Structure 1
Amino acid sequence: MAITKLMNIKQGRRGGSKHLNNSIRYIMNPKKTNDGELIGGNSGFTPQEVYQVMMDTKLDWDKLEGRQGYHFVISFQPGEVNEEMAYQVIKEFCEEYLGDDFDYVFSIHNDQKHMHGHIVFNSVNRMSGYKYRYENGDWEKYIQPITNKICEKYGLPPLEFDAETRKGKSYAQWQADKKGAPTWKKIIRADIDYIISISGNEEEFISNMEKIGYQIRKGDSQKHGAYFSFRAMEQKRGWRSYNLGSGYHYEEILSRIRREKFVYKNPRSPRIRFYKMKRINTHQAVTQFQKKRIRKIYFVSVQYHNIKNPYAVDYREVRKSLLHIDQLWENINYLKQFQINSYAELLDREAKIKEQEKALKNQIYNKDFLQDNEAYIRYKKLKEMLSEVPESDDSFEKILDELEELEQDFPDAILDGSEKVEQMEKKLQSIRDEKRIIRQIKKEEEEDKLFYTAAWGQPTEHTYQNSKKKEVQTQWAKTK
């Protein structure tokens, strides 16, 4: 078996512990864990309970800020273990390594060809209040002996661990990679790939990287040897080359500089003997409100980068624009999907989904607060009685009538079981995604002043169109 990821769970951009909550819900997904049978830990039985226990520990020690938790993934080779053995291995690892010091939850996911286990544990030690800290050498000193002992006990090969993956990544970075979204790591790697192809030696490589806006520093690590540190102007900290993955270590970069050269090949047009085109009507009307974002993509793409002299391109703006374009496309697709044609309709949609979110939360989370409710306790007891009493019994109808009367007081999520709750959780997540996109669109509206006002202070379509026409003409003239 092998640990494939060691991830730290950071705070969200606006603070809080949403990443911790999301990771707990992810590893406890009933569809991946035999409807919850392959879940264990010392912090509770539901995602809400586990999350609350971890937050209570943070609150007790007044350590709500900073890293929120850690996420380990332990994988097994296909056919190496069954579900029961995998569960026992992860369970014993948690008991030995984390014990009673940290709140944790673990699970076995069997939704892929290879069995793999997830462990999420709190960043705060519930006994001492100190924060968990992983340092270089901890693997060999503390974790490796535990895993070797467990592997030997169950007749498994020793745990192999690739130093490349030991460093791990943040939960947000992992999510971005999973969704295929652009990240700084991907952008830096792409820039390095291009500069390698046009550089003849190390000095040229460093010089060319500096020309496109990077600060380059050479260093020497006792563990990794020589390395480059790359920091774009927009970043607070640099990326060391050995953290960028295979092919980007210091020696590998120098080797690639010697081997890889940029060659432009003129593409050959294919020989076509006969082709009959069919008329397909794919035209869809685009409203003025939606056109604003499409126009914005054009200006983001062209305004800064369509320059005859490639050395005059501001590559810092290029990198920012790549992320911005990805966001704008997401916004456009959202507006088209829900046929939102104006800012007023966007606000109406926002108000509508907020009401839906509130209703869903009430249905999902009310169950946690009903555990001590007398009516709910009576309801569960009647459900058990109904399953034991035959329909021919005189008391069956009486129990059923009382049960139906009580059901009117409880949300659907409680009555329909975990499957209904899971559907609501998915709906809730989609609403959160919608709210994020709506916030982006509203921010664009405010920053770019897309609404133009007439003398009386109210936006008018005629005023907007005239102003936008002048803006387009001005921008077009600049690009020529």
Structure 2
Amino acid sequence: MAISKIKTRHASEGRSIAAVLKDRLDYDKNPEKTDGGLLVTGYQCDPETAWQEFTVSKQIYTATTGRRRAPDQDVISYLLIQSFEPGTITPENANKLGYKLALEFTGGQHQFIVATHIDRHHIHNHIEFNSTTLDCSHKFNNVRNSFIPLRKANDRICQEFGLSIIEEPKEKGKHYAEWKATKMGKSWKAQLRQTIDRVLPKVKTFDEFLDAMRQEGYEIVQSKKFLKFRAQGQERFTRSKTLGADYTLEALCDRIRKTQLPKKKKVNLQKDTRINLLMDIQARLQGRGPGLERWMKIHNLKEAAKTLNYLTEHGITEYDVLAARAEAAAADFDAVSTSIKHMEHRMEQIAALKTHIINYAKTRDTYATYRRTKAADKPAFRTAHEAEILLHEAAKRAFDAQGVKKLPTVKILQAEYTELLTKKKAAYEDYKRLRQENQELQAVKSNVDSLLQIQQEEKKEQKKEQEKNR
């Protein structure tokens, strides 16, 4: 899974904005953290000169709008930190994921760099984006609770990359007193969580759990709806549900039950492709046996019925047919996903080109004068017109990067963008349909695989019993 958060970067009293940005972006791009700088990418800016380009955009913003803020209130950039669970993603994919997240979160209207750090046990991205928009007309609107759309975008993109997500946050925010107590090592809740987590794996029943907690010195009050604990010296009882979703009465009972489930053995599954799945699954569900009971604990009757209904509705009676359809569904879903990504990439290029073409046109005369200026006078001219020259050079780099020889008109680019947007909307309808079909087929196939595996295991057990009785 990946965790993301947003942090504001403010100007500093007594230091220039350029100096502050350079320090912060230099830290993000640190070669020792980013594989010699190979894991640094930029959007609408060159990572090497990003701090200068960010600075220039702010100079243009101030000059054109006349707006100024005190250093402690002036947000000059935003930092997104995106952390990944160890072993779940490669540095290259982490960088791509971070780029996609930044592009979506900023709407493609802000310059940013993505620096993937690999110096810790977990890979994490530092995403620094300019608070000023590309056209220098306004700044990023950091709405209240902006972490919510950030988290949603992060979760969806992580799923696209095959990473797991936290479906529902388990913990509520802590009151300041509780947070401070935890930090000082004196939180009753923190101690209670630790004790429960230590005791649970050692007990077999709920009553054993309560006895073990009493032996740990806790006073316990229990009803049908809640469970409360109070440690020695604690003034008030703590309801278990306030510790988080894993500590409600139902969750604790479920955790105790799961510790008693037998560990699943790995079995090399050899499937009989001639088997009639409908008849076999119906027979399995009507029968009895420890293997089926374990399966039912994991899946339940509702899941089994869904599998049976799906096979019936789609006329699937052989395993080979099911496997082929599952493979085809996955391939179709991947194809439409790739198509959408290609369209999104081209739309990003068009948006960037439009901005650079406008900037290029606005600064062409100034840059032509700069080129004609004598070498001795160039430094002074550049200092006087630095903002325009940097914008012009950034535009030229963008044209070279995209292999643009002849500049298209903004009108032509807008028409192409509109056409791509229409195609993307149509493709997204296919995307949603194919995603649903793929998810259903993979779930059905997984359930069938599980049932067939149980059948194979039980056949082996029966064979062993027959050999013993001989």
- When normalised by structure 2's length, the TM-score is 0.34
Q: Please identify the structure whose Cα radius of gyration is greater.
A: 2
> Going by fraction, where is helix more abundant, 1 or 2?
2
Greater length-normalized contact order (CA 8 Å, ≥ 6 residues apart): 2
